[in-house]
Amino acid sequence: MATASMPAQPLRPLVLADLVPAVRARNVVLVALGVLLTAALAQVSVPVPGSPVPITGQTLAVVLTAAALGPVRGVAVQVAYMACALVGLPFYSEASGGVDVVFGATGGYVVGFIPAAVLIGMAARHGADRNPLMAVPLFIAGQAVIFAVGVPWLAVSADMSASQALDAGFYPFILGGLVKAGVAAAVLGTAWKATRQA
C-alpha cells in the first residue's frame, strides 16, 4: 500500500535578514563594498604639479570591481559612488564631495568610470580577466575609456586647449595606468587560481 509523502515544510527564518532574498542581499552588499573600495582607494592621492587632477587609486578600484562584479553591478558601484559624493559624503580624493566636486574639473573622469565598468564587466563575463595576457590589455582599454571622457571634460571645465588638457590630465597618468592594469591582473588572476584550487 502506497503512502502519501508529506510535503516538506519551509524553513522558518532565523532572523529578519533571512526574509531578504539571498540574491538581492548579496548584490546590495557587493555593490556597497565596491563603493567603499572605490572611496578608500580615492584617498590614495598624489598631486600632479600644474594639474587639478591628482593620481589616485580610483581607477584601480573601477577595474577590480567591474571585473569581479560584472557589468551591471560594476556600473551600480560607480553610479552609487557618484551619488554618495553628490550628497556630500567625502568619497572623492582628499575626502571631498558635493555637487561642485562631482561636476568640477575632474568630474569627467568619474563619469568615465561608468562606460569603463561596462566594457571591463562585459569582457570579464567572457573570461578576459582570468588570463593576464588578456586582462592587462583589457584593463588598459578600460582606463583609456575613462581618459576619453575625462580629458575633454577637463579641457571644457578648466578652459584648457586640447594639448593643455592632455599635458595636465593624460600624460602624467600613463605609467600609473599601466601599473594599475598589471596589479589588477595579478590580483584577479590570483583570485581565480585560488577558486580553482579550493
The pLDDT tens digits for 16-29 are 455 556 766 788 99
CATH code of the domain made up of 21-197: 1.10.1760.20
Give the residue extent of every domain in the chain. 21-197
Distance CA 185, CA 102 (A): 29
Q: pTM value? A: 0.86
The pLDDT tens digits for 112-129 are 999 999 999 999 988 899
Grid cell digits, residue 130: 582570468
Distances from the Cα of 56 to the Cα of 4, 16, 60, 122, 127, angstroms = 65, 39, 8, 24, 27
Q: What is the pLDDT of residue 163?
A: 97
Return the percent helix, strand and coil in the chain, to nearest 5: 70, 5, 25
Q: What is the pLDDT of residue 183?
A: 97
The pLDDT tens digits for 35-88 are 999 999 999 999 999 899 999 999 999 999 999 989 999 999 999 999 999 999
Grid cell digits, residue 163: 594639448
Helix (H) or strand (E) holding 45: strand 45-46
On whether the CB atoms of residues 92 and 42 are closer than 8 A, the answer is yes
Q: Which of 123, 128, 140, 132 minimizes the C-alpha distance to 177? A: 140
